[in-house]
């Protein structure tokens, strides 16, 4: 198994991806198939499910003889790939002679003064995880917003409460949180959304853990846009497109009413 990322932006995306995933789970289970990589898991509280697919064409090199499954410490892996340099490519591989170790190298075609090749070895972990089949759902409402705007909003909302109430109608969307220090409400005009659809005459009033959403799902480093999909009978889906038919999805269960 060998994969290589040379593009600066994609290296940054790859590091940002694992920066988010390490907040969800300390151990990652990665299925490496002939055509794509699939990463799925849940946080310890089983509130957040993450599901990531990275197509082979997303990488500069993708050499897989047969499908394999590996598991590793997410924090350690993120610490290693964070040592990236703009001009160096990232190479990740496993030798057939020792499948218990993953190698991570940073190197460049042209050596620059003061920039050195770095090589890491990381032990793989035995970890059992049964992947879940995610059904296709017809959501009641879907909207897309700038990741910068939504990240700033959730950062501010996080100062006022632990839960967030999302209201959607044909006229507008509102986000509300309240706690011991007070309440904050954000009204989002439909015209400010990049895209919006809702079932005719539908009104949505759902509550989610703001702490989990903000800590595990909301970032402006994976994509310029974030898509939210909501339904009264299913978890909320938060989607980031990575390009090249690749995406990161998060599913958050709503909080039940008292």
The pLDDT profile of the chain, 258 residues, written as one tens digit per residue, is 999 999 999 999 999 999 999 989 999 999 999 999 999 999 888 889 999 999 999 999 999 999 999 999 999 999 999 998 888 999 999 987 678 999 999 988 776 666 778 999 999 999 888 888 898 999 999 999 999 999 999 999 999 999 999 999 999 999 999 988 899 999 999 999 999 999 999 999 999 999 889 888 899 999 999 999 999 889 999 999 999 999 999 999 998 765
pLDDT at 258: 54
The domains found in the chain, sorted by start residue, are 2-123 (3.10.150.10), 141-252 (3.70.10.10)
Helix ranges (DSSP H) in 110-219: 147-157, 210-212
- Lay out the sheet containing 195-198: strands in order across: 68-73, 27-32, 36-42, 48-55, 246-252, 234-243, 225-231, 141-146, 195-198
User: Alpha carbon 52 to chain centroid distance?
Assistant: 7
pLDDT at 99: 84
CA angle 25, 27, 28 (to 5 degrees): 90
pLDDT at 212: 87
User: Rounded to 5 degrees, what are φ and ψ at 219?
Assistant: -155, 150
Beta bridge partners, 98, equal 95
Please report, for residues 90, 112, 148, 225, the alpha-carbon distance to residue 86 in angstroms, rounded to integers and kept in the order given.
10, 12, 23, 24
Please report, for residues 21, 33, 90, 113, 121, the alpha-carbon distance to residue 7 in angstroms, rounded to integers and kept in the order given.
21, 22, 9, 21, 23
pLDDT at 114: 64
> In angstroms, rounded to a whole number, what is the distance separating the alpha carbons of residues 241 and 101?
30
> In angstroms, rounded to a whole number, what is the distance separating the alpha carbons of residues 51 and 21?
10
| Helix, strand or coil, per DSSP, at residue 156 | helix
Angle between helices 74-81 and 8-24 (to 10 degrees): 160
- Those residues whose C-beta lies under 8 Å from the C-beta of residue 234, and which sit 6 or more positions away, are 137, 139
């Amino acid at each position: 198994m060998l994969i290589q990322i040379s593009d600066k932006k994609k290296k940054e995306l790859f590091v940002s991806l694992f920066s988010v995933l390490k907040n969800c789970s300390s151990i990652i289970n990665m299925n490496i198939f002939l055509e794509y990589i699939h990463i799925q898991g849940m946080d310890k509280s089983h509130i957040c499910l993450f599901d990531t697919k990275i197509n082979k064409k997303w990488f500069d090199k993708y050499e897989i003889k047969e499908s394999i499954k590996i598991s590793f410490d997410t924090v350690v892996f993120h610490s290693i790939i964070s040592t990236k340099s703009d001009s160096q490519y990232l190479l990740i591989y496993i030798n057939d002679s020792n499948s218990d170790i993953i190698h991570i190298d940073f190197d460049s075609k042209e050596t620059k003064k003061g920039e050195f090749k770095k090589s890491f070895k990381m032990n793989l972990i035995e970890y059992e995880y049964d992947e879940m089949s995610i059904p296709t759902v017809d959501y009641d409402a879907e909207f897309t917003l700038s990741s910068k705007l939504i990240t700033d909003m959730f950062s501010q909302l996080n100062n006022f409460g632990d839960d967030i109430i999302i209201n959607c109608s044909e006229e507008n969307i509102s986000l509300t949180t309240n706690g011991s220090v007070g309440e904050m409400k954000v009204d989002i005009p439909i015209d400010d959304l990049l895209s919006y659809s809702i079932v005719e005459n539908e009104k949505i009033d759902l509550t989610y853990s703001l702490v989990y959403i903000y800590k595990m799902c909301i970032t402006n480093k994976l994509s310029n846009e974030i898509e939210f999909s909501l339904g009264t009978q299913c978890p909320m889906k938060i989607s980031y497109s990575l390009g090249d038919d690749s995406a990161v999805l998060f599913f958050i269960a709503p909080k039940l009413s008292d």
